Amino acid sequence: MTGSDGVAGSDDRMIELRLPSRLGYEKVAMDMAASLARRMGFGADRIEALRTALAEAVTNAIEHGNAHDAEMKVTVLLTPRPDELIVSVADQGRRPLETSQTELQPQIDQTIARGEAGGWGIWLMKELMDEVEFSSVPNGGNRVRMVIYLEQP
């Protein structure tokens, strides 16, 4: 159950979404996060950025962390604060994320030369969000914690 994330303060209220590890379900997470962000006052372009970053995080959790095992859950936690939205995505981690992967800096000419298109997810998340942090969950699994700041007009 939600209530203690370790990262959030005691006054924080969280919305939790649990999804099966099946591609396509990331759209439910994207729509839910967009719904919350819109109501918090985020602009359209920031919401698009959030949707894209969250899609990358959830598909990473489905494909890599949970290795497409639909019985394994992906947990998305949304913590709205007055000046920011914290989004955390956790998997049940069959495959721990290597630090080398999170530090990846892909170059388009190199990926084209190698003939592969992957490897952009983490880079995109870092580009689009204001904070991105990777960690391991104590009882197994990977977690990415992303923060997007609410800039008051």
6: which strand partners? Answer: none
Q: What is the DSSP letter of 103?
A: T
- Report in angstroms how near the CB of residue 102 gets to another protein at its nearest: 27
Number of residues interacting with another protein: please give it, by CB under 8 A.
30
Tell me: does residue 128 bind another protein (CB under 8 A): no
Which pair of structure tokens corresponds to residue 43? 């602009």
Contact 83, 41 (CB under 8 A): no
Which pair of structure tokens corresponds to residue 134? 């990777």
- Report in angstroms how near the CB of residue 126 gets to another protein at its nearest: 26
Tell me: does residue 96 bind another protein (CB under 8 A): no
Contact 94, 69 (CB under 8 A): yes
Tell me: does residue 49 bind another protein (CB under 8 A): no
Tell me: does residue 95 bind another protein (CB under 8 A): no
- Report in angstroms how near the CB of residue 36 gets to another protein at its nearest: 5
